[in-house]
């Protein structure tokens, strides 16, 4: 009987330990299989000018930020002032992907909250989002001069993430 109790307590203790470790992890830091790999190439119509198409290959040789957003996304609204301020700094080009949205809703949203993007691309069906492994919006990627994804932020970019992760990484990548 004592042996059974000890085994049960040991199993219970192991489960509690696993739960405790899991609770200390940041749920936004989901390892992405794309980190260190080539960013999926895409060509999409511009949100503001549907007759014009943007190709991600145009960014080769530049470090850039790729921010996935949507007008229906509450967290995007929380993140937006941070992206606006960062884009104003001119440190790096910031591009947006209006994900699974209606064009008119995306345009209205940018008109209301401000447009930080050099350009926004329109991905109504979410095909590019799927290629990038988007879990949900917002998500933000830092892509280097060779077109390699170097960082992925799941969820809103906060001032802390910007200051501690994105800005230092961008500065390092620009020097390479």
Domain residue limits, the chain: 29-175
Structure tokens at 103: 């064009």
| Interacting residues of 21 by C-beta distance below 8 A, sequence separation 6+ | none
Residues constituting the chain: 176
CATH class of the domain at 29-175: alpha beta
pLDDT tens over the chain, length 176 residues: 687 877 777 777 777 777 766 666 555 455 566 899 999 999 999 999 999 999 999 999 999 999 999 999 999 999 999 999 999 999 999 999 999 999 999 999 999 999 999 999 999 999 999 999 998 899 999 999 999 999 999 999 999 999 999 999 999 999 98
Question: Which residues face 96 on adjacent strands?
Answer: 67, 120
**pTM for the whole structure:** 0.82
DSSP string, 38-80: BPPP-EEEBSS-TT-EEEGGGGTTS-EEEEEE-TT-HHHHHHH
What are the b/e assignments for 155-167, b being 16+ CB within 10 Å? bbbeeebbeebbb
């Amino acid at each position: 009987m004592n042996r059974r109790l000890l085994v049960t307590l040991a199993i219970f203790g192991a489960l509690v330990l696993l739960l405790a470790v899991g609770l200390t992890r940041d749920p936004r830091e989901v390892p992405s299989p794309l980190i260190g790999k080539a960013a999926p190439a895409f060509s999409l119509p511009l949100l503001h000018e549907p007759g014009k198409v943007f190709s991600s290959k145009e960014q080769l040789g530049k470090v850039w930020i790729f921010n996935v957003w949507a007008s229906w996304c509450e967290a995007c609204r929380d993140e937006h002032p941070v992206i606006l301020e960062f884009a104003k700094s001119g440190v790096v080009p910031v591009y947006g992907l209006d994900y699974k949205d209606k064009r008119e809703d995306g345009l209205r949203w940018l008109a209301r909250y401000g447009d930080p993007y050099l350009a926004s691309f329109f991905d109504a069906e979410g095909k590019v989002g799927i290629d990038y492994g988007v879990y949900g919006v917002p998500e933000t990627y830092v892509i280097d001069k060779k077109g390699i994804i170097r960082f992925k932020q799941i969820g809103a970019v906060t001032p802390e993430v910007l200051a501690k992760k994105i800005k230092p990484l961008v500065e390092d990548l620009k020097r390479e």
